[in-house]
Amino acid sequence: MNIDAYPPLDGVRVLDASRVLAGPLCGQVLGDLGAEVIKVERPGAGDDTRAWGPPFAGPLSAYFLSCNRNKKGMTLDLACAEGLEIFYDLAKRSDILLENFRAVSASKLGLSPQALHGVNPRLIICSISGFGRTGPLGDLPGYDFAIQGLSGFMNITGPVAGPPCKVGVAIADVLTGLNAAIAVLACLHARKQSDHGYHIDLALLDCAVAAQVNLVQAYLTSGQVPPRQGNAHLQIVPYQSFATADDWIILAIGNDGQWHRFCQAAERPDLAGDARFASNTLRVQHRDVLIPVLEVLFRSRPSSAWLALLEQAEIPQAPVWDYAQLFGHPQAAARGLRISVRDPAGNAIDLAGSPFHISGTTLPPAAAPPTLGQHTDEILGRLLDLPAARIDELKKNGVI
């Protein structure tokens, strides 16, 4: 196979004016695929997540490190006329703009999609917000925790008899960032034929609802709000975690053949022969009878014994790991789940690796997230041909 010398998004320039997680994660994905991503931040403070710690690696918080690799960083005050003019000049030279300004604020600043398309008609603008640009909630700020509560995520997450729980990571932000990457890449492809720009209106609430797939569809199909299942599955049984004699394991039986093999391996042929458990539909209907029996059964042996037995019988199973166990496993090294980069001072920083493994092309090596304003001079000089004296003047005026 011939190997392309250039990464998939070579020559694509992204202006990342977003902050916190959804937009920055989208920018990181595009950077991982070879785009030139310019992160624009407020002078002095920068992205809010720079201060979200501990832990920190030097001046960079772990949170900021998680979603800003493979970017160049500059500072720019968008609220002043000189800063806005520079931003327009950068937009003219960019293919994609990521932003999460509130609609009212963007209009006041001259950063509405209409204004930006007036500057660059071919620009692909992705506007990320909590609720989108339409509807009665349109101009409310959106926060992942609130979106998890409003979207139904918290109502389906957590113990059966316990309180509603959020997902352990900012899942609405993450899903929106990934959907943003999909949308901008689709528009980038479409632009080859249309030769015009696009405005993408992406909402955290919409992405969170779409991600709940079968559970949302169960409600729409039946009109019944699905009950919280904890670590079990609404529509498959047995498909959940079980406490063993010394730990926890996951059992994920997805069909009746696996169920029969499980019963044989577990030396419980009586369960396989019980008419109440003959099919998945029947097991779902009789889960209140079956699951207590399995809970007692799994407590009879340690996890290592169960995992070995289930693996030999080709039953889907897994231990429950923490991060130390995950990153200590050879699979993590084989897939590059942990990578090491150097910060501007030359210090090593460990990051979570990109999930992309693509044959036939060369992906860029990972670069550490930028310190605040690290590449401002370079970007203004290289892209906008500003002389050093002008850059110094902008610094004195607080524009950069």
- The model's pLDDT over 43-71, given as tens digits with 9 standing for 90+, comes to 999 999 999 999 999 899 999 999 999 99
Sheet holding 239-243, edge to edge: 239-243, 248-252, 317-319
Active-site choice (144, 173, 206, 343):
173
- The model's pLDDT over 141-177, given as tens digits with 9 standing for 90+, comes to 889 999 999 999 999 999 998 899 999 999 999 999 9
The yes-or-no answer to whether 13-211+330-396 and 239-243+248-319 have a common fold is: no
Q: What is the mean predicted confidence (pLDDT) over 316-335?
A: 97
Q: What is the mean predicted confidence (pLDDT) over 69-84?
A: 96
Q: Looking at the predicted structure, is the pLDDT value of residue 207 above 90?
A: yes
Interhelix angle 144-151/171-194, rounded to 10 degrees, is 90
- pLDDT value of position 111: 95
220 phi and psi, to 5 degrees? Answer: -65, -30
Residues 6+ apart with CB under 8 A from 263: 269, 270, 271, 272
- pLDDT value of position 163: 93
Q: Which two tokens stand for residue 149?
A: 């509560």
Q: What is the mean predicted confidence (pLDDT) over 123-135?
A: 96
Is 173 an annotated catalytic residue? yes
pLDDT over 90 percentage in the chain: 94
Residues 6+ apart with CB under 8 A from 78: 17, 40, 84, 87, 109, 111
- pLDDT value of position 1: 65
- pLDDT value of position 299: 97
**How far out from the chain centre does Cα 376 lie?**
27
- The model's pLDDT over 11-25, given as tens digits with 9 standing for 90+, comes to 999 999 999 999 999
pLDDT over 70 percentage in the chain: 100
Model confidence, pTM? 0.93
Report the mean per-residue pLDDT for the chain: 96
- pLDDT value of position 162: 86
CB atoms within 10 A of CB 331: 9
Q: Looking at the predicted structure, is the pLDDT value of residue 389 above 90?
A: yes
- The model's pLDDT over 342-353, given as tens digits with 9 standing for 90+, comes to 988 899 999 999
- pLDDT value of position 139: 80
- pLDDT value of position 344: 85
**Cα separation of the two ends of the chain:** 46
CATH class of the structural domain 239-243+248-319: alpha beta
Q: Using DSSP, state whether 73 is helix, strand or coil.
A: strand
In this prediction, residue 115 has a pLDDT band, given cuts at 50, 70 and 90, of very high
Query: What would the CATH number be for the domain defined by 13-211+330-396?
Result: 3.40.50.10540
Q: What is the mean predicted confidence (pLDDT) over 180-203?
A: 98
Q: What is the mean predicted confidence (pLDDT) over 212-218?
A: 96
Domain residue ranges in the chain: 13-211+330-396, 239-243+248-319
CB 183 within 8 A of CB 126: yes
Pairing status of strand 198-203 against strand 124-129: parallel
Q: What is the mean predicted confidence (pLDDT) over 291-302?
A: 97
CB 299 within 8 A of CB 241: no
